[in-house]
Amino acid sequence: AQSVTQLGSHVSVSEGALVLLRCNYSSSVPPYLFWYVQYPNQGLQLLLKYTSAATLVKGINGFEAEFKKSETSFHLTKPSAHMSDAAEYFCAVSDYHFNKFYFGSGTKLNVKP
């Protein structure tokens, strides 16, 4: 069985500060990991994905995530938050064979001026 856990349902940072959103996964097979972003009243959009090619993955809008097998983590970071980053972020895991995607409970990011 596969699952992801996101620590912190709400994170608040000041504009220009570091963004760190946490995700830990549980998987019995090599995982494929994703971060999605959801802006208000919209569907989800892919930020980045890890598929074993490289442990540090760069995504859109300056976000990146590092896969750490020893910690079963895939935390999302951005060096400097922008007001437009305010949204809800979801970590997800899938497997190669069945292509089912399982999502975490989400983290709402608030960016203060």
Partner 1 sequence: NAGVTQTPKFQVLKTGQSMTLQCAQDMNHNSMYWYRQDPGMGLRLIYYSASEGTTDKGEVPNGYNVSRLNKREFSLRLESAAPSQTSVYFCASSEGAGSNEKLFFGSGTQLSVL
- Tell me which residues touch partner 1 (CB under 8 A): 6, 9, 32, 34, 36, 41-46, 49, 51, 90, 92, 94, 96-106
Distance CA 48, CA 103 (A): 14
CB of 44 to partner 1, least distance (A): 5
Nearer to partner 1, 39 or 82 (CB): 39
Nearer to partner 1, 36 or 63 (CB): 36
User: Residue 62: phi, psi to the nearest 5?
Assistant: 80, 5
Amino acid occupying residue 41 = N
CB of 6 to partner 1, least distance (A): 8
CB of 96 to partner 1, least distance (A): 6
Q: CB neighbours (10 Å) of residue 25? A: 23
Residues in Cβ contact with 98 at an 8 Å cutoff, skipping those fewer than 6 apart: none
Nearer to partner 1, 28 or 97 (CB): 97
Nearer to partner 1, 19 or 47 (CB): 47
Distance CA 13, CA 87 (A): 12
